[in-house]
A = this chain, B = another copy of it.
């Protein structure tokens, strides 16, 4: 493998390998060990759309591996995109680097880049389509916190219609793991599309989390609703509060891709089941593993 474009590109074995490698990286980080694995290597970040969280997570991963980072953080900070085609920009940046992380608002941009680039492309999110490293870090988080990726009761909450992270996570679970029981919790207008309804699942509009091992919370965006009063009503329904936490299993985990607005009450943060910031940390060892994988694949 050389490019990391879609979560569907991974074979079951590659999946397992990445998670195992991420675990090694995690151990090294916990020991505070400085790694020299990618000394002398350069990762370029080409962010045609600002995403500070994803960018810093990748930069942290590359720095932790001893490598260097260059690039641009948003379209306004590059003079390249204005002057030439994206293919020419990618082709040029590939001359300066060993691997490129690309973020774009346009679905398919990462795929296009991978077709012209002489170095591996990692998709850091291409619009509504894919964000494979987010899915991988979600899985790594579940693996670390629950000890397994099979036989789990997973509750997905919020905007299940448009949520890219939800879709990719469903796909990954359906393709590679077994014994997953989904509960899809969403207002009718934002219900999960049929293509993701596989295996055992249950749909509801109510926040029923008593059985869940994994609670995956996502934000409901105001812009999805024609009627703002509808949004205001739902906002308070799909909200995790200390009271809701009380109804949950003692060993459940609450995840969130962040940023959150108010769908998880900040008073929940001190509950040890609320691991969304730890989830952000797990992104670093996961991306370390993925950068290594991309570079090892060469091109």
Contact = CB atoms under 8 A, between A and B. Distances in A.
B50 A77 contact: yes
Interface of A is mostly: mixed
A35 B40 contact: yes
Contacts of A33: 40
B87 A277 contact: no
A77 B42 CA distance: 22
A196 interface: no
Given A40-B34, A42-B60, A260-B88, A77 B79 contact: no
A95 B280 contact: yes
A157 to B, nearest CB: 18
A258 B93 CA distance: 12
A71 interface: yes
Interface residues of A, number: 55
Nearest to A94: B277
Nearest to A40: B34
Nearest to A42: B63
Interface in A258-294: 258-261, 266, 277-278, 280-281, 283-284
Given A77-B77, A277-B95, A56 B84 contact: no
A83 interface: yes
A180 interface: no
A66 interface: yes
Residue of A32, A68, A87 with most chain B CB atoms under a 10 A cut-off: A68
B87 A266 contact: yes
A284 B88 contact: no
Contact of A96 (B60, B259, B260): B60
A42 B80 CA distance: 25
A144 interface: no
Copies in the complex: 3
A167 to B, nearest CB: 21
Nearest to A97: B60
A80 to B, nearest CB: 4
Contacts of A280: 92, 95-96
Contacts of A34: 39-41
Interface string A204-231: 0000000000000000000000000000
Interface string A32-63: 11110001111010000011110011011001
A35 B39 CA distance: 9
A96 B276 CA distance: 14
B84 A64 contact: no
A248 interface: no
A273 B74 CA distance: 34
17 contacts: A34-B39, A40-B66, A42-B64, A52-B77, A52-B80, A53-B79, A56-B70, A57-B96, A63-B68, A63-B70, A74-B79, A76-B76, A80-B259, A88-B259, A88-B260, A91-B277, A96-B280
